[in-house]
Amino acid sequence: MTERPTDDMPDGRLYVACKNRRASVCPACAETYRADTYHLVKAGLVGGKGVPATVTEHPCFFVTLTAPAFGTVHARVVGANGEVRPCRPRRYAPLCLHGRPTECRVQHGEDDPCVSEPICRDCYDYDAQAVWNFHAGELWRRTVITLNRYLVAAAKDRCVRVRLSYAKVAEYQRRGTVHFHALIRLDGVNPDDPDTIIQPDASITPELLSSLIDTAATVTRFTTASHPWYRIGWTLTWGTQTDIRRVRLNAGDHDDHGALTSTAVAAYLAKYATKATEEAGHVSRKLTQQTANVYADQDTHQARQLTACWSLGQRPWYYTSEAQREAWDEGWGRLQKWAHMLGFGGHFSTKSRRYSTTLTALRAVRKAFQRGENHPEDTPPADLDQFGDEAAVTLNWIFDGVGWLTVGDAALANSAAAKARERRRVAREEMEEIMAS
């Protein structure tokens, strides 16, 4: 009998990293993903990893785009003096259409589960929220197109050539909607080598770029495709809470004008790249018809969000032809696929091609370092026989499962990973203190 290559391994199995980016699923793999995202974002701000150091002089803005309101929700209001104010005090508060009060005089705490809950769930437009989450990526794409058009027009008037580079992450708000944090950088264009990142012309000022970003976020809107429940489609726009702040290369966390530093922004974006729907109070799991029926019997904010996504993605019974079924499955039917993500099916961290390096390149460098190789691009192909041994060995790997075999193994692994993360954090803080002194 042929000896198995895993006979001498722990538990007779080959353990590999799960590579899940979500901290709630695997803290160890999420920390690796966070670190890679941090270096990817920071390289586009201060240079390195193929990006010239002159990008520190390029105009760059940290932009936050939020979803519109779909109904009145409880909020934690903090005044300028730091005191918590009543949620929604009203002197003559009318009742809503369902007979519920529209005021709230409670001073909510940070951990109050009522925060971001609707004042009246029956008044809250769960369908519109599901549709907005479902099309948030398309709304961002159209916003970038609109911004590029404005920028090209402004550059043409000044007889210069510029382009935008960006990196963004999606974050869930507590009410269940996604909003985007994006770094938008202005680059010049070299006519002889378009791929080269150069300093943009000074005629495109940071003030002008900020104005164009704000205008593009304000005017961009589009109407979705027709839905059997809403034939005219939903008109989608960004919310009114748009934040645009300049990013500078400073030693402190903030400068006198409120501009963010490159390190703080990179850490902020990397942190949210490892999160998903946990902030909205829901742990993502793929939905089935059975679990959807269970949520339909519950009267909670999270259950109504999940049910709305599942119901909107349900194919109508009168779609009998093959063409109708395929069109539905490629369109609104995908809402059921992403119902566990409250409708959002896009990737949580994306970037433009010329912003900086890629996660694939960073992982290749790390893998080469672990193998003791200095230059991964000089690594010989895997099929090159370096020792003249032409013998072929065939291995059949079988997927055994996810996780650890026992609770004790899981506890030991999580403890070791936590200690490793703590050592890296302490080493990083000590290095920052040494560099600051």
Angle (CA) 200-150-143 rounded to 5° is 105
Least Cα distance to 166 among 209, 226, 117 occurs for 209
What mean pLDDT comes out for the span 350-368?
88
Is residue 143 in some structural domain? yes
Last residue of a domain, one of 361, 390, 419: 361
Mean pLDDT of the chain: 84
10 within domain boundaries:
no
Q: Give me the percent of the chain exceeding a pLDDT of 70.
A: 88
Q: What is the mean predicted confidence (pLDDT) over 176-186?
A: 92
pLDDT value for 224: 95
Q: CB within 8 A of 86, min separation 6: which ones?
A: 77, 104, 105, 106, 107
Q: Is the pLDDT of residue 258 over 70?
A: no
Highest mean pLDDT among 192-201, 250-259, 367-376: 192-201
| 279 — pLDDT class (breaks 50, 70, 90) | low
115/222 same-domain check: no
More confident residue, 57 or 28: 57
Same domain, 156 and 89: no
Q: Please enumerate in sequence order all residues whose Cβ is within 8 A of that of 422, keeping only pairs 6 or more positions apart, or say none.
A: none
Q: Which of 118-122, 225-229, 345-349 has the lowest mean pLDDT?
A: 345-349
152 and 117 within one domain: no
Q: With respect to residue 315, please indicate whether it lies within any of the assigned structural domains.
A: no
This prediction's pTM: 0.83
Residues 266 and 143 in one domain: yes
Mean pLDDT is lowest, of 6-15, 174-183, 392-401, for 392-401
Confidence of residue 310 (pLDDT cuts 50, 70, 90): very high
More confidently predicted of 33 and 259 = 33
| Whether the Cβ atoms of residue 249 and residue 56 lie closer than 8 Å to each other | yes
Answer for the pair 226, 152: CB distance below 8 angstroms, yes or no. Answer: no
For residue 391, the model assigns a pLDDT of 52
Same domain, 110 and 178: no
- Which stretch of 71-85, 182-196, 246-260, 265-279 has the lowest confidence by average pLDDT? 246-260
pLDDT of residue 109: 86
Among 269-283, 292-306, 406-420, the least confident range: 269-283
Above 80 in pLDDT, residue 125?
A: yes
User: Which phi and psi (to 5°) does residue 432 adopt?
Assistant: -65, -40
Would residue 105 count as lying in a domain? yes
CA-nearest of 181, 177, 185 to 147 is 185
> Binning pLDDT at 50, 70 and 90, where does residue 387 land?
very low
Report yes or no on 290 lying in a domain.
Answer: no
Least confident range from 124-128, 138-142, 169-173: namely 169-173
My answer on whether 141 and 195 are in the same domain is yes
* 418 found inside a domain: no
- Whether 109 and 237 map to the same domain: the answer is no
Tally of structural domains, the chain: 2
Nearest to 129 by CA among 289, 275, 236: 236
Mean pLDDT of 173-187: 92
Choosing from 89, 123, 157, the residue where a domain stops is 123
Looking at residue 386, what is its pLDDT?
A: 45
What's the confidence (pLDDT) of residue 403? 73
Beta strands in 25-149 (DSSP E): 60-65, 77-78, 84-85
The pLDDT assigned to 411 comes to 80
CB atoms within 10 A of CB 282: 21
| Average pLDDT score over residue span 43-58 | 88
**Who wins on pLDDT, 249 or 306?**
306
**Least confident stretch, 166-170, 225-229, 344-348:** 344-348
Domain limits for position 86? 73-123
* Same domain, residue pair 94 and 138: no
Q: How large a percentage of the chain has pLDDT more than 90? A: 35
Number of H helices, E strands in the chain: 10, 11
148 and 54 belong to one structural domain: yes
276 or 242, greater pLDDT: 242
- Of the pLDDT bands very low, low, confident and very high (cuts 50, 70, 90), residue 363 is confident
Q: Which of 361, 393, 408 is the last residue of a domain?
A: 361
Predicted confidence at residue 2, as pLDDT, reads: 53
Q: 379 in a domain, yes or no?
A: no
Residue 207 lies in a domain: yes
- What is the predicted pLDDT for the residue at 394? 63
- Is residue 83 located within the same domain as residue 189? no
Residues 197 and 251 in one domain: yes
**Is residue 99 located within the same domain as residue 224?**
no
Matching residue, tokens 């672990």: 370
